[in-house]
Structure 1
Amino acid sequence: MELPSTLIFTTITLIVSAVIFSLTRPNSRLNLPPGPPGWPIVGNLFQVAGSGKPFFQYVRDLLPKYGPIITLKMGTRTMIILSQADLVHEALIEKGQVFATRPAENPTRVVFSCNKFTVNAALYGPVWRSLRRNMVQNALSSSKLRTFREVRVTAMDKLVDRLKAEAETAENGGAVCVLKNARFAVFCILLSMCFGVEMDEKTIEEIDEMMKMVLITLDPRLDDYLPLLRPFFSKKRKLAMEVRERQIAMLVPFIERRRAAINSPGSDPTAAEFSYLDTLFDLTVDGRKDPPTNPEIVTLCSEFLNGGTDTTATAVEWAIARFIETPAIQSRIYDEIKSVVGERKVDEKDIEKMPYLNAVVKELLRKHPPTYFSLTHSVTEPVKLGGYDIPTGTNVEIFIPGIGEDPKIWTDPERFDPDRFLTGGESADITGVSGLKMIPFGVGRRICPGLGMATVHVSLMIGRMVQEFEWRSWPENSKVDFSEKVEFTVVMKNTLRAMIIPRV
């Protein structure tokens, strides 16, 4: 007798649920932070997935009821979310060493990270220290960043030319897509910094599309939270492995091209004097005898590219949206540029002489941090936080807007007001060293190593874009929609198109 398919499904579900429950029963003696009651076995997983809301909005809605530290049970994972400055300070500064590691990853992510062989994914320990030290000292230090000044100048000129060309096409009617153009410009910069070889526009776009595919492939899946369901996701895993093979196949030729250029100086006339890739070929990693393999180098280069592209482009899109909403801000930046720079092109050396532009960038990062959750932390040992138990292996998430929008810290936090950092008398150190009021790049031991580079890129792009063009709403007299959505970063729900008027 053939059993109905619904009965088979129900039976399998009960068996799987029973096994999961036996593996994930919470320890009743733990004093976890409060949170919404979950369902048996799956915890809050289906409540989150079925809410119809982005995860950041689901969390935002929980804060008034449960407070600044919340527990969510997500299948086999326990997730604890922090949204208050003093709790984040306790975790990442006072107890920073305990909270400095990363949680276990699903098998797909492990493949793409070469078993957590990246600055962001590595467990807290000697491998992480080696990789981070190399990236910071040999690629992202102030002196190294200065060596790429001409790369940035060229990219800014190309950005201006692309914007003009797009606006002049008949079908666009003077309008341009802000995010797409900003993203291409910063990706060009990072490709040059990373590989040190010249690429044509078609190649750049192909690599960009491949990197986007990698990020899409790494989006969380149901089996990440319920591992026993992984047999049902075999096609997804197969697709992920194909993407990984394409990633390696696309990037290894550029790695070998750069290796050849180093071994035979002068053989490649387009080769730059220095690149991040140069530091990886013979990189000594604590606890390892051999230098990184090609797949590991692909992973490290991909981390470098992904970490600085969407975050910067997203910030620029939000900036232009704010300028359109409040033209007075745009006018003040332009007047400041004229007074400091005159008729020549604004340069990154000019940025430090522009207090209003710097205030705009800081307010931009407070109100529109590129991501609403910093990369997930985990603890190396059981620890107390805010009086609650944090067990080993817990996913600790930092909800960044909870700090940047806290009315106990900020005056009128919902308002976009760069003057708060000038005449308003408010201040904030985005590194968190002198006080924790906004953390767009994280804080503590795992703070984003590209912080300095990101602020240079955002400031320079905004400066050149405002110097070259007046930005207006499109269609004319329309209101900017500040609704959000999550892609790789938190972007505008409706991609911003804007009218540009070249400056006379």
Structure 2
Amino acid sequence: MVQNMLSSTRLKEFRSVRENAMDTLIERIKADAKANDGVVSVLKNARFAVFCILLAMCFGIEMDEETVEKMDQIMKTVLMVLDPRIDDYLPILSPFFSKQRKRALEVRNEQIQFIVPFIERRRRALKNPGSDLKATSFSYLDTLFDLKVEGQKSSPSHAELVTLCSEFLNGGTDTTATALEWGIAQLIANPDIQEKLYSEIKASVGDRKVDEKDVEKMPYLQAVVKELLRKHPPTYFSLTHAVTEPTTLAGYDIPTDVNVEIYLPGISDDSKLWSNPEKFDPDRFVSGREEADITGVTGIKMMPFGVGRRICPGLGMATVHVHLMLARMVQEFEWSAYQASEKIDFAGKLEFTVVMKNTLRAMIKPRI
């Protein structure tokens, strides 16, 4: 995945896919507002746009809106039935969870039955170039068809391909969409930041649509996104780690046979590392007053994607999506609270990612 799909070179190949998804996002937001007296669901629309991009990257074939929504629903159902249960940790209790296991197997079967035809459609498109006019020149699936697994002579089975594709889709959809929901919420709660961001976008590109190349010339946009990732990392915990030999950290003995869970907000909200950490303040990065490397190479003050050799492979893709989508959404619309008298509720809850406890509904006003 890292070498063949998420390299900067490969990501550039899907630039037109991202541009089309951005136009779709703006049109869906407009339609949503028109149907609901100016009120839009940020998470729902952002999630659809990101999912469209990842589907094109994964399968390399175009899908209509109904198919995209069906695929999305199946993926969400898979995540829901795989929520951790107590019998995962205490297998002796597993007989009491037979109904849940049966339901999980049913969902898995539905997932395989639905996705395999798209896998085979891509396989046919590769064998007969030009036969599918809506197929892209490259996809993640292309790197998997002839993959040789150590100890196996055959290529991955249908079930294995479905799992690998699901991993790619689920890993990049909710994380990006929830980041955008938190981002818009912060811009609504801080209208001065929203206006400053819009002014930078206007000064940088004028009346044309923001392009992902423009992002490099927008230091304030980059600061807003970095502050967003500091305040609202996608999950409460990094991926589970372990030590390779017994060690001691902060006075605690850590043996080799335990899981090490790293609590991310404990780092990014630490007053010893940050001035006024509870405040959403992109200027901390613009002014040079504070700095942080999100990859953790030069030191760890925040780690929304993890750090080290096991850092999230989708870091580059995710940051491209968040920067571009946030810029387009602010360029096209002025965002405000659904009910002007109420403050935004920044309470979160853990699903697959940390989402807003009360899903954000916002008012939009097209920019003139």
- Please, what TM-score do these two structures have when normalized by structure 1? 0.72
Structure 1 counterpart SS, 2:260? strand
Question: Would the aligned equivalents of 1:176 and 1:498 in 2 still touch at CA under 8 Å?
Answer: yes
Match of 1:320 in 2: 184
The alpha carbon displacement at 1:226 in A equals: 1.2
Pairing partner for 1:220 from 77, 84, 87: 84
CA distance in 1, matches of 2:262, 2:153: 36
Match of 1:147 in 2: 13
CA distance in 1, matches of 2:363, 2:19: 24
CA distance in 1, matches of 2:242, 2:81: 23
Pairing partner for 2:55 from 181, 191, 211: 191
Structure 2 counterpart SS, 1:352? helix
Question: Would the aligned equivalents of 1:361 and 1:458 in 2 still touch at CA under 8 Å?
Answer: yes
The alpha carbon displacement at 1:222 in A equals: 1.4
Structure 1: stretches of 5+ with no match in the other structure: 1-134
The alpha carbon displacement at 1:380 in A equals: 4.5
**2:2 maps to 1:136:** yes
**2:271 maps to 1:407:** yes
Match of 1:129 in 2: none
The alpha carbon displacement at 1:288 in A equals: 4.1
* Equivalenced residues, count: 368
CA distance in 2, matches of 1:367, 1:492: 13
Structure 2 counterpart SS, 1:500? strand
Pairing partner for 2:93 from 225, 229, 251: 229
Pairing partner for 2:140 from 276, 282, 291: 276
**2:294 maps to 1:430:** yes
Match of 2:112 in 1: 248
The alpha carbon displacement at 1:401 in A equals: 0.4
The alpha carbon displacement at 1:286 in A equals: 4.4
Match of 1:175 in 2: 39
The alpha carbon displacement at 1:228 in A equals: 0.3
Root mean square deviation, CA, Å: 1.2
CA distance in 2, matches of 1:251, 1:382: 44
Residue deviations 1:35-94 (CA, integer Å, cap 9, x gap): xxxxxxxxxxxxxxxxxxxxxxxxxxxxxxxxxxxxxxxxxxxxxxxxxxxxxxxxxxxx
Structure 1 counterpart SS, 2:6? coil
CA distance in 2, matches of 1:219, 1:262: 36
The alpha carbon displacement at 1:384 in A equals: 3.8
The alpha carbon displacement at 1:457 in A equals: 0.3
CA distance in 2, matches of 1:298, 1:487: 22
Q: Letter of the 2:95 partner, please give it.
A: P
Structure 1 counterpart SS, 2:217? coil
CA distance in 2, matches of 1:247, 1:393: 34
Residue deviations 1:390-442 (CA, integer Å, cap 9, x gap): 23331211100010011111111111000000115211110001111100001
CA distance in 2, matches of 1:331, 1:265: 48
**2:25 maps to 1:159:** yes
CA distance in 1, matches of 2:109, 2:70: 15
Match of 1:68 in 2: none
Q: Letter of the 1:308 partner, please give it.
A: G
Residue deviations 1:97-151 (CA, integer Å, cap 9, x gap): xxxxxxxxxxxxxxxxxxxxxxxxxxxxxxxxxxxxxx11111111100000000
Match of 1:64 in 2: none
Q: Letter of the 1:239 partner, please give it.
A: R
CA distance in 1, matches of 2:45, 2:227: 23
Q: 1:340 to 1:137 in 2, by over 3 A?
A: same
Match of 2:203 in 1: 339
Residue deviations 1:265-310 (CA, integer Å, cap 9, x gap): 1111111111111110012344544322211111111000000100
Q: Letter of the 2:131 partner, please give it.
A: S
Match of 1:238 in 2: 102
Q: Letter of the 1:145 partner, please give it.
A: L
Structure 2 counterpart SS, 1:395? coil
1:254-269 residue pairs with structure 2 within 5 A? Answer: 254-269=118-133
- Please, what TM-score do these two structures have when normalized by structure 2? 0.97
Q: Letter of the 1:279 partner, please give it.
A: T
Structure 1 counterpart SS, 2:364? strand
Larger deviation: 474-483 or 306-315? 474-483
The alpha carbon displacement at 1:387 in A equals: 4.5
Q: Letter of the 2:12 partner, please give it.
A: R
Q: Letter of the 1:369 partner, please give it.
A: P
* Larger Rg belongs to: 1
CA distance in 1, matches of 2:302, 2:157: 38
Q: Letter of the 1:193 partner, please give it.
A: M
The alpha carbon displacement at 1:476 in A equals: 2.8
CA distance in 2, matches of 1:496, 1:195: 31
Q: Letter of the 1:329 partner, please give it.
A: I
Pairing partner for 2:227 from 347, 351, 363: 363
1:83-122 residue pairs with structure 2 within 5 A? Answer: none
Question: Would the aligned equivalents of 1:380 and 1:393 in 2 still touch at CA under 8 Å?
Answer: no
Match of 1:419 in 2: 283
CA distance in 1, matches of 2:245, 2:73: 40
Identity within the alignment, %: 70
